[in-house]
Amino acid sequence: TGYPTRWEDQTKYRGGWVVDGQRQKSLRLRLQGKWGTLTNIFYNPYLPTLDDYFEPWTYDYQNLINAPLADEQPTARAISMVTGKYMDTIEAGPNWDDDLGGSQVYANNDPNFDGASDEEM
DSSP 17: E
Q: What is the pLDDT of residue 105?
A: 67
DSSP 35: H
Q: What is the pLDDT of residue 98?
A: 64
Handedness of CA 99, 103, 107, 109 (dihedral sign): negative
- What are the residue boundaries of the structural domains of the chain, listed by start? 1-47, 54-94
Task: Report the residue count for the chain.
Answer: 121
Q: Looking at the chain, which runs of residues are DSSP E strands?
A: 17-20, 26-29, 57-59, 78-80
Residue pLDDT, tens place only, 34-90: 777 777 777 778 888 888 888 889 998 988 889 889 898 888 899 999 999 999 988
Distance CA 44, CA 4 (A): 16
Kindly report the pTM of this predicted structure. 0.56
Q: What is the pLDDT of residue 80?
A: 93
- Name every residue whose Cβ is closer than 8 Å to that of residue 118 and which is 6 or more positions away in sequence: none
